[in-house]
């Protein structure tokens, strides 16, 4: 089982690594845990807008749990 804080972020329109594939990992985590899905595709996290979204989400999580 997974212990410690877990933040999973995925892309809703990701054909390479579908977010649904990580559901089992998320369910096994004891928490605190959070799953965030963005309405973008796989490589969109690497665009300026995608990076802004994902980094803001990650920073908020790290500030709470680290």
Query: Per residue in 11-57, pLDDT tens?
Result: 999 989 888 888 888 988 888 999 999 999 999 999 999 999 999 99
Q: How far is CA 32 from the centre of its chain?
A: 14
* DSSP run (H or E) holding 52: helix 48-65
pTM above 0.85, yes or no: no
Distance CA(26)–CA(13), nearest Å, equals 19
């Amino acid at each position: 089982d997974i212990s410690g804080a877990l933040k999973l972020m995925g892309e809703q329109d990701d054909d390479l690594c579908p977010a649904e594939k990580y559901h089992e990992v998320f369910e096994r985590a004891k928490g605190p845990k959070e799953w965030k899905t963005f309405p973008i595709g796989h490589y969109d996290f690497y665009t300026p807008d995608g990076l802004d979204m994902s980094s803001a989400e990650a920073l908020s999580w790290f500030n709470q749990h680290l």
